[in-house]
């Protein structure tokens, strides 16, 4: 999904709010998914008015000899923005046999409360999506039709309890440029199947943004990563984001195992036993597409993520990489800007290193999102993560 300038805001929100919340450990509270799936009720004025919310899925599926990474996002805007709802679709052939494809479609978005179903129809008629949550089975189903990506009736099966990002799911009272921002951010790690056949894994996010004012701050970029892999012979599910700003706002969430043995830990810059905050170091660069007459820009394609309790990297020490050329644009990214910014929204399958002292094993999915550009000013964007 393409989230507008509020994306950056969200990234800022999410990271900042997450940072502003209590550093919660051993998140045990099992939040009801059905409460966070419908559109946010909100109010008409800040801080209750929801100005942007989305549902988001990044995944990797293997089927019929194809190995495909993809992103699907539904975004809905409210005043003061006038953008129509948007569907983002992205497809990356991880075998490299076909070119990267991505598109943002404006259109209409409806929600049927009786069936807990979102339906999107592109204004052009070229794309459509149906996304439903079944409270009885606690599963989601998703279908997408577009020239870039077709996903026929995927079943998305949560592997553990609903994750309140940053430990609370409530990102509140963050202030940037005089704007107080409130956000709700919840996530699922899911197995992806069709007709009972296992196809892969994915990261499913839900998020809403409620600023306390309508004045927008400037100067935020962000990095966000998600990794599904194994460590110490068991599944691990990692998410990490960091704001690029004058202050350090970051969150690392580590989930382990699945089902009854599922466990989650969240760490932020306010965690008392973190001596070495999350750092994101670009190890390899790639050029960013720019319009004629614009100066060159570049961003990462390979990064070192590190955070530690008593020694550098003893919590997280990972190198993640993605194929170059995976960028998205649209209202979420470009609103109010005079340049032609693109946000990196990339899916891959390459990561190595260690997690809490144990080597990272086989990797199933890597997602990298970044609005950072070394040769340009910091931008106001939010992570494509969440909803």
Q: Which of 167, 164, 205, 177 is nearest to 57 (CA)?
A: 205
Query: So what's the pLDDT on residue 339?
Result: 45
Q: Is residue 381 part of a domain?
A: no
Spatial contact of 87 and 3, defined as CB atoms under 8 Å apart: no
Contact criterion met (CB below 8 Å) for 303 and 297: no
Q: How confident is the model at residue 214, as a pLDDT?
A: 45
Count of domains forming the chain: 1
Asked if the structure places residue 195 within a domain, the reply is yes
Residue identified by tokens 């319009």 is 291
The answer to whether residue 78 is domain-embedded is yes
CB-side neighbour CA atoms (13 Å) of 247: 15
- Give me the domain span that covers residue 329: 6-370
Read off the DSSP letter of residue 44: S
For residue 383, the model assigns a pLDDT of 34
First to last CA, the chain: 8
Looking at residue 379, what is its pLDDT? Answer: 47
Does 311 reside within a domain? yes
Q: Three-class SS of residue 105?
A: strand
Identify whether 297 is part of a domain: yes
Question: Is 382 inside any structural domain?
Answer: no
What letter would DSSP give residue 273? T
Token pair 């993560």 in the structure block, residue = 385
Q: How far apart are CA 287 and CA 267, in angstroms?
A: 32
Full pLDDT tens readout for the chain, 387 residues: 333 334 444 443 333 333 333 333 233 334 689 988 998 876 665 556 677 788 999 999 999 899 999 999 999 977 666 678 999 999 999 999 999 999 999 999 999 999 999 999 999 999 999 999 999 999 999 999 999 999 999 999 999 999 988 777 754 334 445 554 556 778 999 999 999 999 999 999 997 776 654 444 444 578 999 999 999 999 999 999 887 765 677 889 999 999 999 999 999 888 999 999 999 999 999 998 887 888 888 999 999 999 999 999 999 999 999 999 999 875 445 443 444 557 899 999 999 999 999 999 999 999 999 988 886 655 443 432 222
Q: Do the beta carbons of residue 258 and residue 159 sit within 8 Å?
A: yes
Q: Hey, which residues does 351 pair with through a beta bridge? A: 320
- Verify cis geometry, omega within 30 degrees of 0, for the bond prior to 386: no
* Strand 358-370 to 350-355 pairing: antiparallel
Bridge partner residues of 118 (DSSP):
111, 131
Q: What is the pLDDT, as a whole number, of residue 40?
A: 80
Q: Is residue 378 domain-resident? A: no
- The reported pLDDT for the residue numbered 50 is 74
Task: List Cα–Cα distances, 107 to 26, 77, 90, 119, 325, in angstroms.
Answer: 41, 12, 17, 10, 26
The HSE-up count of residue 27 (CA atoms within 13 Å, CB side) is 26
Tokens representing 84? Answer: 């129509």
For residues 331 and 232, what is the distance between their CA atoms, to the nearest angstrom? 42
């Amino acid at each position: 999904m393409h989230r507008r300038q509020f994306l950056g805001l969200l990234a800022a929100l999410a990271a900042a709010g997450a940072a502003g919340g209590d550093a919660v450990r051993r998140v045990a509270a099992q939040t009801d998914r059905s409460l966070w799936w419908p559109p946010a009720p909100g109010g008409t004025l800040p801080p209750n008015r929801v100005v942007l919310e989305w549902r988001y899925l990044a995944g990797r599926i293997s089927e019929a000899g194809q190995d495909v990474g993809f992103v699907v996002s539904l975004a809905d805007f409210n005043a003061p923005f006038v953008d129509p709802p948007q569907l983002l679709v992205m497809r990356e052939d991880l075998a490299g046999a076909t070119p990267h494809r991505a598109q943002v479609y404006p259109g209409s978005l409806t929600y049927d409360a009786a069936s807990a179903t979102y339906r999107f129809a592109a204004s052009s008629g070229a794309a459509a999506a149906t996304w439903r949550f079944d409270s009885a089975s606690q599963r989601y189903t998703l279908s997408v039709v577009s020239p870039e990506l077709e996903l026929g009736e995927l079943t998305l099966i949560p592997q553990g309890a609903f994750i309140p990002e940053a430990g609370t799911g409530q990102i509140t009272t963050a202030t940037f440029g005089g704007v107080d921002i409130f956000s709700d951010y919840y996530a699922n790690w899911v197995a992806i199947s069709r007709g009972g056949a296992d196809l892969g894994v994915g990261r499913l996010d839900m998020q809403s943004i409620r600023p306390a004012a309508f004045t927008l701050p400037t100067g935020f970029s962000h990095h966000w990563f998600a990794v599904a892999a194994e460590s110490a012979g068991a599944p691990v599910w990692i998410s990490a984001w960091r704001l690029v700003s004058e202050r350090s706002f970051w969150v690392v969430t580590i989930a382990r195992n699945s089902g009854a043995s599922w466990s989650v830990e969240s760490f932020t810059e306010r965690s008392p036993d973190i001596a070495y905050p999350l750092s994101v170091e670009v190890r390899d660069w790639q050029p960013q597409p720019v319009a004629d007459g614009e100066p060159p820009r570049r961003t990462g394609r390979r990064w070192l993520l590190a955070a530690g309790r008593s020694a550098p990297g003893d919590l997280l020490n990972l190198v993640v990489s993605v194929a170059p050329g995976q960028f998205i644009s649209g209202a979420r990214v470009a609103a109010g800007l005079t340049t032609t910014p693109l946000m990196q929204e990339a899916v891959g399958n390459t990561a190595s290193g260690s997690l809490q002292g144990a080597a990272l094993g086989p990797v199933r999915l890597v997602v990298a999102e970044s609005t950072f550009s070394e040769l340009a000013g910091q931008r106001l964007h939010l992570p494509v993560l969440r909803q």
